[in-house]
Amino acid sequence: MPRRGENIYKRKDGRWEGRFIIDRDVSGKAKYKSIYGKSYSDIKRKLEIAKQNSISLQYFHEYHFSLFCIEWLKEHRKNIKESTYIKYYNIIYMYIIPDLGEIQFNKISIQMMNQFIQKLLNQGSQNGQGLSTKSVADVISVFKNIMRYIECYYGHIHFDYHQMTVKQNKEKRMRILNSQEQQKLCQYILGHQTLIHLGILLALSTGIRIGELCALRWDHIYLDEEELIIDRTMQRIQNKDNNNNKKTKIIITTPKSQCSIRRIPIPQDLIQLLKPFECHQNEFFLTGDIEKYIEPRCLENKFKVLMQQNNIENMHFHALRHTFATKCIELGFDVKCLSEILGHANVNITLNKYVHPSFALKRDYMNKINQLINV
């Protein structure tokens, strides 16, 4: 394919290659760097970024690491959700830049990064306590993404950053409602029927997340078809644009992943409870109002009060999702079916994080071994 005057062309191996000038020797002869990609548009975009940065390959190793952090964040902002951008922003400005930002890129080593990981684990939080292994792993994940970006646009990395790992502690098992607590909670809701109480029952009966429940509108609930559609979630995030001088704001967006957009059958008994409250426009489910909504933090507080009123040990709203998943397994649900109802990408997430078999269920299973003994 002929060149387009941009030093971009398609190679014989099918890849696209673009070249740009990174330096000139004493005689003025240009020194080029090549960038590779899957398409013409991909290469054109990469070249524009490289030219805008205009960092000479001869000197870029000497630049402070903060430059690359800010550049990576700016480049990725247009391709990620606002909530994800806020997460990356905080990781970079709270952890990575304060410790590594002023270090020249060529001075960063695997030994330095191991010390950085230990510092985060021992005293990484703002109050001087250590971060959880999950939080440290998130920080290192962002660091690795920045390194991949540098490797892609500027060239060879002088140390193997891929070998950095954070040993994960075994996750603390989330408490779920036992059978007696489930019965007590359901009886109270049946005797005190409000949209908020029925929303809590809906979460217990379908496993939807708190943000999905808060964003749910009546035009996505089909009582005649006995199903609901989940394609929105609500969350409060930091307001980095600083509009109206507010530190945080509420956003309603698509769920965390494509798998989280789903249709969920509604149990028939719950259908009968919802019908007297049914709205016929796009009112929020929890309020019955088109504009007024209840945000996740407020619903979490209301759930806490409900637990106290029923003398049930305090637990997070998300425990309802775990309770639902565990109950489904006990009832013999197909794991693939349950995984799709929960909106998981694969069944391993369902089994490893959301299923907590009771000891009574384990006893029932073990008693079936009696059949072998009787034989």
Q: Which of these ranges, 12-21, 135-144, 337-346, 356-365, has the smallest mean pLDDT?
A: 356-365
Does the structure show a pLDDT above 90 at 51? no
Q: Can you give the pLDDT at residue 3? A: 45
Does the structure show a pLDDT above 60 at 360? yes
Q: Which CATH number applies to 179-364: 1.10.760.10, 1.10.1240.10, 1.10.443.10, 3.30.830.10?
A: 1.10.443.10
pTM to 2 decimal places: 0.76
CB atoms within 10 A of CB 11: 11
Does the structure show a pLDDT above 60 at 26? no
Q: Can you give the pLDDT at residue 1? A: 44
Q: List, in order, residues 6 or more apart from 71 with CB less than 8 Å away.
A: 53, 149
User: What six digits make up the tokens of 279?
Assistant: 């709205």
Q: Where are the alpha helices (DSSP H) in the chain?
A: 40-53, 65-77, 82-91, 97-100, 110-123, 133-154, 179-191, 195-206, 210-215, 268-274, 296-309, 319-330, 335-342, 347-353, 359-367, 370-374
* pLDDT tens column, 185-219: 999 999 999 999 999 999 999 999 999 999 999 99
Does the structure show a pLDDT above 70 at 52? no
The whole-angstrom distance between residue 203's C-alpha and the CA centroid of its chain comes to: 20
pLDDT: which is higher, 113 or 360? 113
Q: Can you give the pLDDT at residue 240? A: 76
Q: In this structure, what are the phi and psi dihedrals at residue 109, rounded to the nearest 5 degrees?
A: -135, 170
Q: Which of these ranges, 117-121, 239-243, 314-318, has the smallest mean pLDDT?
A: 239-243
Name residue, tokens 């979460």. Answer: 203
- Alpha carbon distance, N-terminus to C-terminus of the chain: 76
In this prediction, residue 374 has a pLDDT band, given cuts at 50, 70 and 90, of low
Q: What is the mean pLDDT of the chain?
A: 86
Q: Are 33 and 46 in contact (CB under 8 A)?
A: no
**59-163 and 179-364: same fold?**
no
Q: Can you give the pLDDT at residue 61? A: 63
Q: Can you give the pLDDT at residue 302? A: 97
Does the structure show a pLDDT above 70 at 347? yes
Domain-by-domain residue ranges, the chain?
Answer: 59-163, 179-364
Side-chain-side CA neighbours of 364 within 13 Å: the count stands at: 7
Q: Can you give the pLDDT at residue 373? A: 67
With a pLDDT cut of 90, the percent of the chain lying above it is 47
With a pLDDT cut of 70, the percent of the chain lying above it is 87
Q: Can you give the pLDDT at residue 27? A: 58
Averaged over 232-237, what is the pLDDT?
A: 94
CATH superfamily of 59-163: Tyrosine recombinase, N-terminal domain (1.10.150.130)
